[in-house]
Amino acid sequence: MLEPDKLSICCDAVRDWVNENYEASYIIGVGALSLASWALDPKKSKKRALGIFATALAVGAMLEPCVNVQSQVYGPVLSHGSRQKRCVALTFDDGPSEYTGSLLDVLAEEGAKATFFCLGEQALRYPELVRRAEAEGHLVGSHSYTHRNLLGRLPAASRRQIVTGAQALNDVLGHYPLWFRPPYGMRYPWTILQARQSGMSTVLWSNCPCDWTTPGAKVIMERIIRSFQPGDIILLHDGGGDRSQTVIAVRYLIRYLHRQGYKFVRVDELEPAE
């Protein structure tokens, strides 16, 4: 049996590979299931297995732009800034929560700006933290109202999540947000349109250390640095669970990148990608 630390390393490597090569992972998975179907009854199932494989690939091709954070097929999204400028955008999802104040303290102490994509229900629960974030120069955007996966929602339900999330921030701040991030980064073609009709542009990301898995502050920072590029929009979280590791990682990440000459900016301050 593998030792726990080696098992963790292997799991991280597999997860990272799947995340970075999800199209190949999907094709391999569908192919394996189709082959298994054919192997159970090779005389009768060959055509059926090929049909399943072709149909699944076609469906996957249509859904791929819904989950690809870089894809512009179903509407414009901001996933990173200029790769020629030493700027980086920290973004925090799922808050505010009891950890948001600590993150704001770190950002203030280290001289960094960030963007907070708040859930409407959480903004109503912690209005003072939303107001503090904006007062301290950070950007506040919407992350829907209750973090429902919009990929599984019909247009009317999707619109409700988008509109009520934005309304909650208006109730707290006195103005509507201009930026929106769909939960899990997943969207249908109409999702971006609905956000735009509510006055918001859509923001995704280019660097995701999966801090929600709570792998430790050191691992969170290492994952960010491993794939880091100038202009990255980094996906982190200040809500949805224990975010104490994220708070620690952010402090050391800011110090590390400051030493490399990087400036931490809000997403609306990123220069456009070339």
**What angle, rounded to 10 degrees, do the helices at 189-197 and 155-173 form?**
30
Instruction: For tokens 């469906």, name the residue.
Output: 59
User: Catalytic pick from 138, 147, 237, 238?
Assistant: 237
Please provide the distance, in angstroms rounded to a whole number, between the alpha carbons at the two ends of the chain. 49
Closest CA to 34 of 21, 51, 22: 51
CB atoms within 10 A of CB 232: 24
Q: Which one of the listed residues 80, 93, 138, 238 is annotated catalytic?
A: 93
Tell me whether residue 237 is one of the annotated catalytic residues: yes
The strand ranges marked E within the chain are: 77-78, 87-93, 114-118, 139-142, 179-180, 201-203, 233-237, 263-264
CB 130 within 8 A of CB 96: yes
Provide the total of helices (H) and of strands (E) in the chain, helices listed first.
10, 8
Report residue 254 as tokens.
């800011």
Of 159, 164, 100, 87, nearest to 134 by C-alpha is: 100
Q: In the annotation, is 258 catalytic?
A: no
Q: What is the DSSP string of 55-69?
A: HHHHHHHHHHHHH-T
Long-range contacts of 48-53 (CB under 8 A, 24+ apart): none
Residues with active-site annotation:
93, 237
